Chains A and B, each alone.
Chain A
């Protein structure tokens, strides 16, 4: 039991627990924070897999930017209380869904553990990594040479997303809000 294994086990447990807490939370703010914990643990796993750059990006972009955006939205909508979601449904009603998800995980595990991936020599310890694997230099070199076009296209995607987000979230002055009540009265 070396240090690597200890770190792996701890961060794996934290990642799974954080994710579980996220989905069972009723308070959205707490869910976001749980997700953030899970992400931090995942970043550790990334670094263990020699993805130094991506681990950093995950923390900065995901935990730092995206989740903060979630928090902003939650605050904007003032969603502290959860009563508008109605009474919580029982575990029994969701039993089928739990079972299905469990089956899915079991299938994945079976695939990974069985001889399904024999050709890819997945079973066994990690082999030796080449020099500079996963550093900023190596990823950037690939990103700006071989994958230049996809990278540039990503910028267009983000631009479209920005425009779309602005357009959708904008308050439309021409159309009066809540249509339900008005329709009901007429």
Chain B
């Protein structure tokens, strides 16, 4: 059998990749998906811990996380549409009005 820590390490790596995606991508949509990836990585870790401790509550949390992620996707994409309408671009660096 595979140890739980293997799963958690996979979750950690996915989380790191998501972080990197947030840092380097210029496209808002990809940046946004990176955020979703980070959420998924956290979910994976929770499920692994839940299995280890044999407590099913973790699954409920993950279910709720999925609901939140779905809601976030809906709102976030609406924002993306609005932003695109205003600036005709999705380059995140163009949205820098809130500076000094």
Chain A residues, Cβ within 8 Å of B5? 112-113, 122-123
Check B54–A22 contact: CB distance below 8 A.
no
- Chain A 16-30 against B: per-residue CB contact (8 Å), 1 yes, 0 no? 100110110110100
Beyond A15-B14, A127-B52, is A86–B19 a contact (Cβ under 8 Å)? no
Counting chain B residues whose Cβ lies within 8 A of the other chain, the interface size class is 35 or more
Residue numbers of B with Cβ under 8 A of A are: 1-10, 12-21, 23-27, 29-30, 32-34, 36-37, 40, 43-44, 47-54, 56-57, 59-60, 62-64, 66-75, 77-82, 84-91
Beyond A23-B25, A77-B90, A142-B60, is A32–B16 a contact (Cβ under 8 Å)? no
* Interface residues on chain A, number (Cβ under 8 Å): 94
19 contacts between A and B (CB under 8 A): A19-B18, A23-B18, A31-B27, A39-B40, A54-B43, A57-B66, A65-B70, A79-B90, A94-B24, A104-B16, A113-B5, A129-B51, A133-B54, A134-B51, A146-B57, A147-B57, A158-B67, A164-B75, A165-B75
- Mostly, the B contact residues are helix
Chain B residues, Cβ within 8 Å of A160? 71
State which of B7, B27, B79 has its C-beta within 8 Å of the C-beta of A168: B79
